[in-house]
Amino acid sequence: MGRFSTDPDKIRAKNADAPKIENLLGRTFELFAPYRTTLITTVVLVLVAAGFSVIPPLLIQGAFNEGLFPESGTPNLEILSMFVVTMIAIWLFTAALGVWQTFLTASVGNKVMGSLRVRMFAHLQSMELAFFTRTKTGAIQSRLQNDVGGVAGVLSNTISSLLGSSVTVLASMVAMFLLSWRLTLVALIMLPLMVILQRKVGQVRAKIAGKTQESLSQMSSITQESLGVSGILLAKSFGRQSSEVSRYETENKNQISLQVRQTMSGQAFFAMVHVFMSSIPAVIYLVAGVLILQQDPITIGTIVAFTTAQSRLLFPMMNLLQVSLDLQTSQALFARIFEYLDLRPTIKNPEKPVPLDLEKLGIIEFEGVSFSYPGTDADSEPTLKSISFKVEPGQYVALVGPSGSGKTTLSYLIARFFDTTKGTVRFAGVDVKQLNQEKLIDKIGIVNQETYLFYDTIRENLAYAKPDATDQEVEAAAKAANIHDVIMSFPDGYETMVGERGYRLSGGEKQRIAIARVLLKDPPVLILDEATSAMDTNSERIVQATLDAATANRTTIAIAHRLSTVLNADLILVLDKGEIVERGTHQELLELGGLYRKLIQSQNTFSEAPAESQNSAS
């Protein structure tokens, strides 16, 4: 089964601002509001078609009583032909209306589905980073694809089926009542029981539908995790392909079971409805015989017309009951969709953002900042504790320390990927919470240690930082990052597809493209999370020189794992267990003889070990 929970209640519990889903039906109808004109046209077409559908049974009565079996005893072909032509004309007219109405409902249904999918995607884009660290990517994909897609059929067919079947049923009942009210009572006596049973079946199917969508979500998560390049590489590295197949097979069996249960949950009910509706004509013949024996003036034309009108109840009634079940089932889908739409981002733009002071760009200040990740126990130690420092424009500040000391977390707070638990982070002299986040991010360039590239061309991956960049600007950035020659060595040059997550490129090549991408953006502030960690010694030396030149006129925060890259930093902050334990230049920290010196000695010892081993061997 899954490694992480995707239970909606747990997701909601982690976002206390999400309101309970109330007025689900009303909110669903609101989705159709932009298409009122089309819907009104559809309703008119359905009503007109259904209204005309009541006429043929009445014409059949006339065809029998006046055309086939008139009082004269001789069939009147002229009158019979008139009835037949009229019925065929009505059927052609209603068929044309049906085609038009189907087009309109399909258009509205798919447009609503499409806008709902985009709305959810846009809403998810606004969610804070913490939401994505605790939620499976596959679960999110399932909401966008399976849940919204599962609603499409309901949206496309409900209007025509619900309205059309309702009006057809009512029209048929009116025709039946006009023909014989006694026979009508006999034909409809069981309908209330059918409605009660339908509601019971619908409640069961709605529960199963919710479980089915959860299972689909789990399968999407397993697929996304296991069949991505990283997942496949991990499984092959540890020989775990069979366990991944087993995990998928287990959830697939659960999905099959749920699908079968959902399909079979209404079969007995519909079989009973079908038997009941199909048996009514035979019962009508029996009752008609009784009425005739009691001298009731009922004609053969009335009996044939009545059974014709009654037979028109079968499919509309079945459709109506099926639509009712689908609506109850779709409530589970809509609930899952609104579950995400009701989540409130914890990081929002202020109502009145403070404009950035361009003269102060590059000033970054932490004042008494503490931070704990969302969902962390109150008793656990915070990730960052009482962090205070100030960076002046153009300064190169390095963050060093053991793994897990909080270096990357600190950089996240500058870009406001997370909000501080205590204290203030200021950018250009203003609390980042008072700034428009898009404007803030526009002034910051970030190169992460884990480089992410889209499955696209090298040119498109570079231009992601500046979509309107010219070819000359793209190539200039690539040259500055020492990757242009490598790109041009590929047969397709800048049009080379990088593959899933850039796996067609080496680690060093991906990082140089990431550096070129941020240089193309040309921001006043750079955040480098060990931007040269995946490069060989020669590439690292070249790119480090490039970075030194690129950072000369801008504020730079560099997270350093290789301490050799920060020897010339204006300020080095040494973090340990979420606190700044030392600060100063390289030389000052060496003379201090604290943690920084130990880290330097540890890395020097590690790098010299191979040489010493070789000397010993010789």
| Spatial contact of 172 and 57, defined as CB atoms under 8 Å apart | yes
Other CB atoms closer than 10 Å to residue 440's CB: what's the count? 20
pTM score: 0.68
Q: Which fold has domain 360-443+555-618?
A: Rossmann fold (3.40.50)
- CA distances to 61, 516, 565 from 533, in Å: 88, 16, 10
DSSP assignments along 31-51, one per residue: TTGGGHHHHHHHHHHHHHHHH
User: What band does 308 get if pLDDT is binned at 50, 70 and 90?
Assistant: confident
- Give the pLDDT confidence of 172-203 residue by residue, as tens digits: 777 777 777 777 777 676 666 666 666 666 66
User: What band does 13 get if pLDDT is binned at 50, 70 and 90?
Assistant: very low
Work out the mean pLDDT of the chain and round it to a whole number: 77
- CA distances to 256, 274, 316, 328, 564 from 267, in Å: 17, 10, 17, 16, 72
In residues, how long is the chain?
A: 618
User: What band does 434 get if pLDDT is binned at 50, 70 and 90?
Assistant: very high
Q: Distance between CA 313 and CA 165 in Å, rounded?
A: 9
| Spatial contact of 498 and 507, defined as CB atoms under 8 Å apart | no
| Spatial contact of 1 and 218, defined as CB atoms under 8 Å apart | yes
Q: Distance between CA 52 and CA 58 in Å, rounded?
A: 11
Average pLDDT over residues 269-287: 70
Q: Tell me whether domains 360-443+555-618 and 445-522 share a fold.
A: yes
User: What band does 298 get if pLDDT is binned at 50, 70 and 90?
Assistant: confident
Tokens of 359: 């003269």
Say yes or no to pLDDT of 583 above 90: yes
Average pLDDT over residues 464-474: 89
Percent of the chain with pLDDT over 90: 15
Percent of the chain with pLDDT over 70: 75
| Spatial contact of 146 and 215, defined as CB atoms under 8 Å apart | no
- Looking at residue 564, its pLDDT comes to 73
User: What band does 6 get if pLDDT is binned at 50, 70 and 90?
Assistant: very low
Buried/exposed code over 323-342 (b: 16+ C-beta within 10 A; e: otherwise): bbbbbbbbbbbbbbbbbbbb
CA 596, 602, 608, 610 dihedral sign is negative
> Domain extents for the chain?
9-341, 360-443+555-618, 445-522
Residue predicted with more confidence, 452 or 300: 452
- Looking at residue 612, its pLDDT comes to 39
Q: Distance between CA 524 and CA 362 in Å, rounded?
A: 6
Could you confirm whether domain 9-341 is CATH 1.10.3720.10? no
Average pLDDT over residues 289-316: 72
Residue predicted with more confidence, 270 or 490: 490
- Give the pLDDT confidence of 393-405 residue by residue, as tens digits: 989 999 998 888 8
Half-sphere exposure of 104 (CA within 13 A, CB side): 21
- Looking at residue 198, its pLDDT comes to 62
Say yes or no to pLDDT of 238 above 80: no
CATH architecture, domain defined by 445-522: 3-Layer(aba) Sandwich (3.40)
Say yes or no to pLDDT of 124 above 70: yes
- Give the pLDDT confidence of 514-551 residue by residue, as tens digits: 888 888 888 899 998 876 665 666 666 766 766 776 67
Q: In terms of Cα–Cα distance, which of 461, 159, 457 is closest to 320?
A: 159
